[in-house]
Chain A
């Protein structure tokens, strides 16, 4: 599904990913962990073609094709979705108008109003979101948890095949986190080939959404790859890189 080859990127003249490699196959769930400032969010932004992030070298292959020359909206229409760490508030633009326009753009045809409302009602109910949110401005006056749920609602409405979740668990209370986790699992059950790339600092979300691979990032590179156990080790011991890398020799996890 997604292959990142020797990718080096910079933002504001600073290299944030350095010859980075990662392969995510259809249906896999990958997690990236690491301290603040090691390039985790930058990875999601460069995959989504955020204009401030410049690719110096390397390639991003999606379903067999390089997407480096595609704009943000073209990548979204190919099925790539980024649930953002800090979703923006956009005054005056209602969630309903936004979603209808987005669905029309992705499907390249006008959305059927009846099926749109039906699908939106179901998604709102799944996420336990209030009815009136549809006519409110995007994320305006939403709590931290509501904003994150709104990202998941957009995911469910737009039907992407590759989903990046950038700290979707931050600012979310335990009940909302369970709802988000359940919705991610249900979406995956309904769409077996979709893949998740989860950026997180904690194992909270991973108790609900079980990863296939956990990667630890340091200075723009993956320094270790393992299973869910690696995430638990990090939560218990912090990002002690010497310990994490040296434990590669004793466990089944691998360092790169």
Chain B
């Protein structure tokens, strides 16, 4: 998959395209106009970042994978009917990390799906704050938030705050949140096929952080290698 490297703060996108974000900027603005856009952002040991995303028709998929990056703010405005956003955040951290997401469903029949997956190690802990807002009169929206934190350390400061601010009755909204260790039954299933505990945990981590991203096979393989060689 060929990706266009993002090299400016403000990006107006008018056709279907794939973007890659590698370098650090304090704030990115994406204005998506009647297009399907897939963004992959890979960050390592970097400072706070903000995204402001305006979807004026079409769909945006934001794949964010980061290792020891500081705080992340994502604000999305769904400005035309049937606009859609999918956000996948995959985070590995040894430091304190806050992710704040705000989705505004400004028009009818808009769709938002947010998937946060985090892994804490060493002194790391994660806080996910996700707010989805549907004002009164904005009918037919679909809102989904799904957040999971696996703690590989003994810290119990991880936090997930799923907030659904829904003022309209005609809305389908759901959220799920999990903080804890790996599922024992999943580990048993993998180990019953000969994997030792470390191999089984690595496979589950890879699956949770990379396997769930909406990117092509080749990109997944590269990220899995990076994860195994440098981030595990």
Contacts and interface: CB of A to CB of B under 8 A. Distances in A.
A40 to B, nearest CB: 17
Contacts, number: 83
Contacts of A81: 192-193
Interface string A58-92: 00000000000001110011000110100110111
Chain B at the A interface: mostly helix, strand, loop or mixed? helix
Given A90-B204, A92-B211, A51 B194 contact: no
A158 B200 CA distance: 16
B204 A73 contact: no
Interface stretch (B38-46, B95-103, B150-158, B180-188): B180-188
Given A84-B189, A90-B189, A137-B211, A105 B206 contact: no
A150 to B, nearest CB: 12
A101 interface: yes
A77 B199 CA distance: 14
Interface size band for A: 20 to 34
B210 A73 contact: no
B189 A101 contact: no
Contacts of A84: 189, 192
Interface in A34-67: 48, 50-52
B186 A76 contact: no
B62 to A, nearest CB: 18
A106 B206 CA distance: 20
Contacts of A105: 193-196, 199
B212 interface: yes
Contacts of B185: 88
Contacts of A82: 192
Given A73-B196, A101-B199, A92 B191 contact: no
B207 A102 contact: no
Nearest to B210: A92
Interface of B: 184-186, 188-197, 199-200, 203-204, 206-212, 217, 224
10 contacts: A50-B188, A71-B191, A73-B191, A73-B192, A81-B192, A93-B206, A97-B203, A97-B206, A98-B203, A102-B190
